[in-house]
Every structure is written in structure tokens, then in C-alpha cells.
Amino acid sequence: MESLVTYDALADVYDLMYPAASPDIADTVDFIAKLAPASGRVLEIGVGNGRIAIPLSGRGLTVHGIDGSEQMLRKLAERDTENKVVATKGDFTTSTTGETYDVVFVALNTFFAPTSAEKQVECMCRMREQLAPGGRVVVEAFDPLPFHRSEGEKTSTRYLSPQAIMIDSTHVMRDRQLMLVIHTVLDGGTPRPTQELIRYAWPSEIDLMARLAGLKLVDRFAGWKGEAFGPDSPRHVSVYEATEDSENVNA
């Protein structure tokens, strides 16, 4: 089953859902910038509208991004007035930029967008292929446990602006680790529902996928500030490096 998400449909409200001025953005940029060497090269998987990539490019880094949404990439181009971010349109489970980077990262649960374990392994393999010697792969993802325990449909409301809200209806299919979310924007006009299907994965499962791709876990944090990860952490930021065997194979 392929993802039902149409990120093109969310492009106009994405900044309202995830504001660029959020402190989390600054923490993400700091974390990635510290991992990369001075004047290093960084690739963001699922770059979207550039909410992370653009401020990251202001740190003296060469920043590339890959994304499958044409509308999101158009938003990125509009915001990136100095043309600092090099963007590639493509499926990040099958496509690469053809170049290598000191840091390859995927943020905000985008790793869960491929809706099968096989596709997620492919994504990890593509990240490994684009990793320079001594580089790091970084994955941010939520803890699936609260959702995996959920039964039936859950509905929540998200504030977007004084004129708009988003209603999220969530249904979890535990046998396949799938979560269907229907986002509906209410702003006084015609309601605009968008379906999103993701496949969540446990941290240990992501570690195994990394191993299959020739990567191994180096560090795991509870957030971009480097907080200690524990059993009650709602998300994790995991850092991987190439295994010795994969380094030898790719040498």
C-alpha cells in the first residue's frame, strides 16, 4: 500500500502547522551544524519548503535537499531568495543527488512517509549511498507506543491562525504499523481534506534498517538539544555512522 499523502495540498498551510520561527528549528539547525565540519556539505531528505535547510545554509554550509512535492519545492524557491539551497525533485527511496555529504538527515518523522519496511530500508540505503567518509546520518522520529496502543479513530484540533484550524482524524492499523491521518483545514472556505498514510517504526527496528544499509547507531537523544533519551521520551534523534564493512566496500 502506497502513501496517500499529497504534500502539494499541504504546501499552503505547512508554515502554519510547523512555524519557521519555532525554537525547534533553531535547535535542529544548531545540532546539524555542529555535526558538520566547517564549510561542510549537508543533505536534507524530504526538504519540503526549506524550513530547516534555508537557515542551515546561513551557517556557511553547502546545503542540498531532495523532495517529491513540486509545490513544496516551489515554496522553498520563493523563500530561498539567495538561492543557497540546491533542491532536487525525486522519490528519496529510489533517487539520489549523485553526490556525497558530511551529514545526511531526515527530520519531523519524514522517515515514516514510505509505507512499507522495504521502502524504509531503501531510504536508509539511499542515505548511506550519499554519505561521505566519516559522515553522519541523522533520523528524527516519534515514539510509536502511544499511537500503537490507540484503538478506534481519534480526532484532535490544531490551531493554525486566528482564521483557521485543522482537524486531524487518526486511525491506527496496528497489524501493519500504519497510521492514516485525515487533515481537514477549516478557514471559512470549502473544507480541504488531505489523507496521509505513514508507517511507524520502533527505534530498534530503525537501528536494524540502518544495519542492513551499512550503518550503526552512534548516539540517540530525546530531542535536538541533545537531551538524554529514555523510556518516556516522545521522540528520538538518532545518529548513525557507516560500519567498517560498508566503508571497505565503498572505498
In SS3 terms, 1-45 reads as CCCCCCHHHHCCCHHHHCCCCCHHHHHHHHHHHHHCCCCCEEEEE
Report how far apart, in Å, the C-alpha atoms of 204 and of each of 56, 143, 176, 219, 248 are: 29, 11, 17, 13, 25
Residues 6+ apart with CB under 8 A from 78: none
Domain ranges of the chain: 7-143+201-250, 146-198
pLDDT tens, position by position, 32-69:
999 999 999 999 999 999 999 999 999 999 999 999 99
pLDDT at 21: 65
pLDDT tens, position by position, 121-164:
999 999 999 999 999 999 999 999 999 998 788 999 999 889 99
* Residues paired with 8 in a beta bridge: none
The values of phi and psi at residue 172, to 5°, are -105, 130
pTM: 0.91
User: What is the C-alpha radius of gyration for the chain, rounded to an integer number of angstroms?
Assistant: 18
**146-198 to CATH, choices 2.20.25.570, 2.40.50.140, 2.60.40.10, 3.30.43.10:** 2.20.25.570
* Residues paired with 78 in a beta bridge: none
CATH of the domain spanning 7-143+201-250: 3.40.50.150
Percent of the chain with pLDDT over 90: 78
pLDDT at 150: 84
pLDDT tens, position by position, 90-130:
999 999 999 999 999 999 899 999 999 999 999 999 999 99
Per-residue pLDDT at 249 exceeds 50 = no
